[in-house]
Chains A and B, each alone.
Chain A
Amino acid sequence: MSASPQLIGSSGDSLREAFGKALSACANDYPNVVVLDADIAGGTGVHHFRKSHPDRFFQFGIAEQNMMAAAGGMAATGLIPVVTTFAVFCLRAIEQARLSIAYAKRNVKIVASHPGLDVGPDGGSAQALEDLAAFRAIPGMTVISPADAEEMAQATRAVLDFDGPVYMRTGRSGSKRLFGPDHKFEIGKGQVLCNGNDVTLVACGVEVARALEAADLLAKDGIAARVINMPTIKPIDTALLAIASKETGCMVTAEDHNIYGGLGGAVAEALAQTTPCPIEFVGVRDVFGQSGEPDELAEHYKLTAPYIAEAARRAIARKKKNK
């Protein structure tokens, strides 16, 4: 028996590991990139960067507010700081992100691991279900939530190439592989993953895999669902949503987040101003989470494929009623 404990969550395909590996792998192409950590590099994936580029890794201790504002200062000297911590602690330092990063228009990348129910057994205190909404409300902040390891790796490079403040979610648990190397991630763009004209399922993060499963369930009943992967929550791809609304006439949003203010809110706002249609929201229904494995929690809080399919049926019924 090994003397050292197995580090939980260092498993291969989690989005945080994908991010950490991608960051480390591309760091030589971005000599101005520095990484800021608040004593959780093992959890956020940046332990890879710490090992590969120790001279560009800055330890701030368990003090996220100072770290967040200091990132603004480092950016002011021409560096590209990547601030890493858990999503809940990004909320702790959100006023620093607002004033010292966004208001000052600093080129800082805030990369948050452990978002949503995907955190699992740490429980409600650790499960950030508000981060997308909160960061989306900050002027000038780009908000991204990739769906799989390939997209995460591409998004990592994309945010480093992008000039401006970004909030990006990774993920704690092992993620399903959805995309191959031919996948093209672009900030501000969604992609249609499967076509259909009865209903559109729009998802981000861990919910993209579940939306694809839901489309399979619906297909068994002869319902053709269009599935859109929407990794950029802000700015949202309004053009793609408007086309989907016109062509399918109803929509379901799915996210590991409160149903208020996140992807669902962004989609509803975009469509209300362009091409309104009935929308059903799959997400955590304005409650806090609790301990449990991510899959158990997804089932308990009704985020799994059958619930997305059920929401799709409700949306279709509303569409028909409106006709």
Chain B
Amino acid sequence: MNANIQLSQLSANLAAQDDDDIDRLAAHAREIRRLSVAAIYHATSGHPGGSLSCADILSVLYGQELALDASNVASPDRNRFVLSKGHAAPALYATWASFGLMDRKTALSLRKLGSIAQGHPHVLDTPLAETSTGSLGQGFSTAIGMALGLRHQRKAARVYTLLGDGEMQEGEVWEGAMCGAHHKLSNLCAIIDYNKLQSDDRNEAIMGLEPLAQKWRAFGWHTLEILGHEIPAITAAFDEARAINWRPTVIIAHTIKGRGVPYMEDQPLWHGSVKLTREQTETALLSLGTSAIEMKELLDVR
């Protein structure tokens, strides 16, 4: 982690958050990571690095910020979340499973023929995905459309979308950045999972993104930088975003790719669609604090 990161004011004066709440969300994040790794193992392909890096953000979103449950997931007034970095689908399904919005067996059927847990989220199979993603940039634009549409219909619902850092290289993202600011979409909050790595190498080697925060500020967004594995920091950033009523917010979440699995951490090799061996999977699951009973359940699922 880059020690020179300019963190937002937030990290200094974090909103007081109940320790139990932090523990609860941290436990969900660990479960999201375990389920993601197991699903990718069973699928024999999938993107572990970028799934592990966004687990804490997803935990805070579904465990707290979105206020979604079985009773309101279909309500027109619900808050919406779009996974613009659709290749982190394993983490999305794992999150739903962890919060009781999808059964675990389905989350573990990732990428299998006939499964609703498609390789990239597909709204016709899983309405909770809100839209279909997998082509970078499009989920972001779709979220912009949702925010415009909701505001047009005078709904108070908010729209959240998670983008990858490599995704910043898509021109469409900057079309959307202009659009969101121009239309003053304060009901929109984008989060960037800034893990510094993409498919083939570090962002800066492939196509430099820096100065990223300055770019978003220049485009007119309320721009925050946080440590994306610190649950109180994520919570505080969402609190601040909700208080901004005249422009959209982007939260640049500094994360570590492969977070929680030491042999994957900060290694570009583990971005891509990879096949995990049983041994690699067991090692990863042990690192993630998996109990013997859960290990068996995760690995021998049928």
Residues of A within 8 A of B (CB): 34, 56, 58, 60-61, 63, 65-79, 81, 95-96, 99-100, 103-105
8 Å CB contact of B132 from A61, A77, A78, A99: A99
Minimum CB distance partner of A58 in chain B: B148
Q: In the assembled complex, how far is the CB of residue B189 from the closest CB belonging to chain A, in whole angstroms?
A: 15
Let me know if B123 is at the binding interface, CB within 8 A: yes
Is B302 an interface residue when CB atoms closer than 8 A count as contact?
Answer: no
Nearest-neighbor residue (CB-CB) of B124 within chain A: A105
Partner of B146, one of A56, A60, A74, A103: A74
Max count, chain B CB within 10 A of own CB: residue among A34, A58, A67, A74: A74
B278 contacts partner chain A, Cβ-Cβ < 8 Å: no
A70 touches B178 (CB 8 A): no
A74-B149 contact in complex given A63-B175, A66-B175, A105-B124, C-beta closer than 8 Å = yes
Q: With A and B bound together, what is the CA distance between A73 and B124 in angstroms? A: 14
Which residues of B sit under 8 angstroms from A100, Cβ to Cβ?
Answer: 131-132, 138, 141-142
> Which residues of B have CB within 8 Å of A66?
141, 144, 172, 175-176, 179
In the complex, chain B residues whose CB is within 8 Å of the CB of A34 = 149, 152
| In the complex, B7 has a CB within 8 A of chain A | no
Q: Do A95 and B135 touch (CB < 8 A)?
A: yes
Taking a contact as CB atoms closer than 8 A, the residue among B130, B137, B146 that contacts A65 in the complex is B137
Residue among A72, A73, A100 with the highest chain B CB neighbour number at 10 A: A73
Residue pair A76, B142 in contact (C-beta under 8 Å)? yes
The 7 A-B residue pairs with the shortest CB-CB distance, nearest first, are A73-B145, A77-B149, A70-B145, A69-B141, A63-B175, A66-B175, A73-B142
B76 near A72: Cβ-Cβ < 8 Å = no
A-B contact pairs, 29 of them (CB 8 A): A56-B152, A61-B179, A63-B172, A63-B175, A65-B137, A65-B172, A69-B137, A69-B172, A72-B142, A73-B141, A73-B143, A73-B144, A73-B145, A73-B147, A74-B146, A74-B149, A76-B131, A76-B145, A76-B149, A77-B145, A77-B150, A77-B152, A78-B153, A95-B138, A99-B132, A99-B138, A100-B141, A100-B142, A103-B124
Q: Is the CB of B135 within 8 A of A63?
A: no
* Interface residue B112 (Cβ < 8 Å from any Cβ of A): no
Asked whether A104 and B146 contact (CB < 8 A) given A61-B179, A63-B179, the answer is no
Question: Which residue on chain A has the smallest CB distance to residue B155?
Answer: A77
From A69, A99, A103, name the one whose CB has the most chain B CB atoms within 10 angstroms: A69
B262 at the A interface (CB under 8 A): no
Q: Chain B contacts of A60 at CB under 8 A? A: 179
Q: Is B171 an interface residue (CB 8 A)?
A: yes
Using Cβ atoms and an 8 Å threshold, which residues of chain B touch A104?
Answer: 122-124, 131-132
**Cβ of B220 under 8 Å from chain A:** no
Minimal beta-carbon separation of A75 from chain B (angstroms): 8
Identity of the chain B residue whose Cβ is nearest the Cβ of A62 in the assembled complex: B175
Q: Check B134 for interface membership: any CB of A closer than 8 A.
A: yes
Query: Which of A65, A77, A99, A105 is in CB contact (< 8 Å) with B153?
Result: A77
Q: Is the interface of A mostly helix, strand, loop or mixed?
A: helix
Q: What's the least CB distance linking B202 to chain A, in Å?
A: 26
Chain A CB within 10 A, most for which of B122, B124, B137, B148: B148
B141 contact set on A, CB distance < 8 A: 65-70, 73, 96, 100
Chain A residue with the shortest CB-CB distance to B129 = A104
B-side contacts of A105, CB under 8 Å:
124
Give Cα A56–Cα B145 distance, bound, in whole angstroms: 13
Chain B residues 48 to 80 lying within 8 A of chain A, measured CB to CB, are: 76
- Which single residue of chain A is at the shortest CB-CB distance from B123? A104
Instruction: Tell me how far the C-beta of A102 lies from the nearest C-beta in chain B, rounded to whole angstroms.
Output: 10
**Proximity string of chain B (156-182) to chain A, C-beta cutoff 8 Å, 1 when within and 0 when not:** 000000000000000110011011001
Q: Which residue of A has the minimal Cβ distance to B122?
A: A103
- With contacts A63-B179, A66-B172, A72-B131 taken as known, whether A77 is within 8 angstroms of B138 at the C-beta atoms is no
Residues of B within 8 A of A81 (CB): 145
Among A78, A96, A104: residue with most chain B CB under 10 A? A104
User: Which of B134, B146, B179 is A99 in contact with, Cβ under 8 Å?
Assistant: B134
**Chain A residue at minimal CB-CB distance from B173:** A66
The residue in B135, B142, B147, B179 that gathers the most chain A C-beta atoms within 10 A of its C-beta is B142
Cβ contacts under 8 Å, A71 to chain B? 145
Residue of B whose beta carbon sits closest to that of A96? B138
- Give every chain A residue within 8 A of B142 (Cβ-Cβ): 69-70, 72-73, 76, 100
In whole Å, how far is A272's beta carbon from the nearest beta carbon of chain B?
31
Task: Say which residue of A70, A75, A95 sits within 8 Å of B144 (CB atoms).
Answer: A70
Which B residues lie within 8 Å of A95 (CB)?
135, 138
Docked CA distance A249–B232 (Å): 76
**A79 with B143: CB separation less than 8 A:** no
B145 A72 Cβ-Cβ under 8 A: yes
Cα–Cα distance between A272 and B172 once the two chains are bound (Å): 41
- Could you give, for residues 91-129 of chain B, a 1 whenever the CB lies within 8 Å of some chain A CB and a 0 otherwise? 000000000000000000000000000000011100000
- With beta carbons under 8 angstroms apart, the residue of A69, A73, A96 that contacts B149 is A73
A61-B178, A72-B145 given; 7 more Cβ-contact pairs under 8 Å = A58-B183, A63-B179, A65-B171, A69-B138, A73-B142, A76-B130, A100-B142
Q: How far is A96 from B142 in the complex, measured between Cα atoms in Å?
A: 10
